[in-house]
Structure 1
Amino acid sequence: MNIYRSLAEVPADLGPTVVTIGNFDGVHCGHQTVIREVIARARALNAKAVLVTLDPHPTRVLRPERKLQLITPTDVKLELLEKTGLDAVLLLPFTREFAATSAKDFCTAVLHDTLHAVEVHEGENFRFGSGAAGDTHSLEALGQTLGFTAKTFAAIESGRTSISSSRIRHAVAEGDMAATRHMLGREFFVDSTPARGRGYGTKYAVPTINLAAYDDLLPAHGVYITDLRIGSGDDAITFEGVTNIGNRPTFGADSFAVETYLLRFHPVDLTEETPLRMAFHKRLRSEQKFADPNALKTQIFKDVARAERWFALRRALSNRAN
């Protein structure tokens, strides 16, 4: 998959293309449905399948006070998009000046002049152009002038609600990992590096690792069943674990951490730059304050026992499927 980070980087002979435009935060099941259709139509028309997205997310530029936390930071989003089979992603820099571009000028410059689009596929809530004045009806009308066909997709449903990035953020913030997994079509995960802890894990004889500060979306404070991948590529090692997200109130003054107890731990090479990927499976309980560290240690082992049963069931189901 080719990645173009400006209109100027797009080859003049890239087109014709079948295109979809949006933020695609999470690359969730709704996004995946549109992307699959874009790819299928591109193959049928002997065209290139292209996704257009914005960086940074427009909310971070236009409404920074909201402090939007992303489901998938840009590098993770690109990693997930590469697995879909798209031919290219156009990652447009988003600025206040760019935000002032009219819907007509956007379609002319991006879809017609640069991508030579023959079809554009969007969800029914699609908005674009200055002040979000453009919608799917505008897109269809502009397509008639500029030579592309617009196709609109109804929202993909999950239960009685439609799948959206905002609903996924809410589910993650509530610690509802089952709903999150259902809407994403995968486990929710975060990427980070190791942080130096306060030594409690070592002192109380439990093998733990802390994630470095993470500015994007994390689940609600509490204890979770997780997998932690250490390293990358063929050298990566994954440990099953139990992870606490919160302020560790048992030890006095609040000190936020994402701290994982590693099951069946064995020593691994670890530096402050070692990549970590943590996948969240299930929330076990909320964070709580214990009378003393030994009481906390007792609870940790209860949490571990529950996690061990969950992992054993996962292994059994995997073996049965194979």
Structure 2
Amino acid sequence: METIQGITQFTKTTFQTAITIGTFDGVHLGHRKILERLINNAKNGDLKPTVLTFFPHPRMVLQKDTDIKLLNTLEEKIQILESLGLDYLIVHPFTKDFSRLSATEFVRDILVNSLKSKKVIIGYDHRFGRNRNANIQDLIAFGNTLDFEVEEIPAQEIDEVSVSSTKIRNALLDGDIITANTYLNYPYMLTGIIKKGKGLGKEFGFPTANLHIAEGYKLIPKNGVYVVKSIINGKEYHGMMNIGFNPTVSGTEKSIEVNFFKFEGNLYNKKVQVGILHRIRDEHKFDSVQDLKKQLKKDREQSLELISG
């Protein structure tokens, strides 16, 4: 898959595309049905399967929704889409100017002239153009005039996508990682840079890597202790992760700390991605550091049982 930053960077060649448009946050099972349909249609029509997505999220731009929480960072979304068999992913900067394109300008200039769309696969409720005043019937009419086909994704499938996204977000906020991962079809991931912490974990015999996630829009699951896995230097490591405030040692700032089992080495300033497998418990304030150490040993034992099981 080739990732193109911006529609203007899409190379104009002789090939034509089958395209779908959306944010595809999470790239979950519902999204994958749409993408599988896109890829199969493209192969049957000798077209290049292409996704047009936007960043920042339109709500961040049009509604100034700074509280929006997404399932993927842009980097994570690209990583997942890359594994699915697409030929092109076009990430277009979403701006107010872009949102003001008329329906005619969007279809003629973007879909047809720039992206060489021969087939557009889109949801029944898709709206586009300035003030979102055009719908799928308008798109079909444009297709008849400008020589491209429109395939409508029916209401049931679109509703499934919407329900899946909502269920994933709610599950993560409730700490139900099993439900979230089932809908995602992969372990929910957190990606960040390892920063130096206070070193308290090392003193307890459980050295931790402090994961700093730069993207404030990334959804962080409910506070608590989780079983995780990561690929570090090409090798898989499991561990346990705490999300929270470390109340036993009077922590005041929320942190994400991972204790990797059997790992030796320096991770400071390195990018690490953790996949979350299970949730063990809530974060607690223990009466003493000794009680915390005893619980961490239990957490490790339970983590290893879940990993081996």
Give TM-score scaled by structure 1 length: 0.88
- Residue 243 of structure 1 corresponds to 241
- Residue 15 of structure 1 corresponds to 15
Q: What SS does the aligned partner of 1:279 have?
A: strand
Moved more, 59-68 or 20-29: 59-68
- Residue 227 of structure 2 corresponds to 225
Cα drift, residue 164 of structure 1? 4.0
Moved more, 190-199 or 58-67: 58-67
Over 3 Å counting, the alpha-carbon distance change for 1:134 and 1:305 in structure 2 is: farther
Cα drift, residue 27 of structure 1? 1.2
Cα drift, residue 212 of structure 1? 1.6
Aligned residues: 306
* Alpha-carbon distance in structure 2 between the residues aligned to 1:200 and 1:51: 46
- Residue 319 of structure 1 corresponds to none
Q: Which structure 1 residue ranges, 5 or more long, are not aligned? A: 314-322
| Paired residue type of 2:263 | H
| Paired residue type of 2:222 | A
Cα drift, residue 243 of structure 1? 1.0
Alignment of 1:35-184 (within 5 A): 35-154=35-154, 155-156=156-157, 163-184=163-184
Show CA shifts across 1:271-318 (max 9, x none). 31x1211111111111111111111111111222211111111xxxxx
Contact 1:29 1:156 (8 Å CA) reproduced: no
Alignment of 1:167-316 (within 5 A): 167-214=167-214, 215=216, 216-230=218-232, 235-263=233-261, 265-272=262-269, 274-313=270-309
Cα drift, residue 200 of structure 1? 1.1
| Paired residue type of 2:254 | F
Cα drift, residue 146 of structure 1? 2.1
* Alpha-carbon distance in structure 1 between the residues aligned to 2:263 and 2:114: 53
Contact 1:163 1:183 (8 Å CA) reproduced: no
Cα drift, residue 157 of structure 1? 8.8
Show CA shifts across 1:128-151 (max 9, x none). 222233333332232222222211
- Residue 30 of structure 1 corresponds to 30
- Residue 316 of structure 1 corresponds to none
Over 3 Å counting, the alpha-carbon distance change for 1:96 and 1:164 in structure 2 is: farther
Over 3 Å counting, the alpha-carbon distance change for 1:137 and 1:173 in structure 2 is: farther
Show CA shifts across 1:156-206 (max 9, x none). 499x99544344222222222122112111111011111111111111111
Q: Which structure 2 residue ranges, 5 or more long, are not aligned? A: none
Give TM-score scaled by structure 2 length: 0.91
* Alpha-carbon distance in structure 2 between the residues aligned to 1:141 and 1:46: 23
Moved more, 297-306 or 8-17: 8-17
| Paired residue type of 2:226 | Y
* Alpha-carbon distance in structure 1 between the residues aligned to 2:14 and 2:35: 18
* Alpha-carbon distance in structure 2 between the residues aligned to 1:161 and 1:281: 23
Contact 1:14 1:48 (8 Å CA) reproduced: no
Over 3 Å counting, the alpha-carbon distance change for 1:139 and 1:165 in structure 2 is: farther
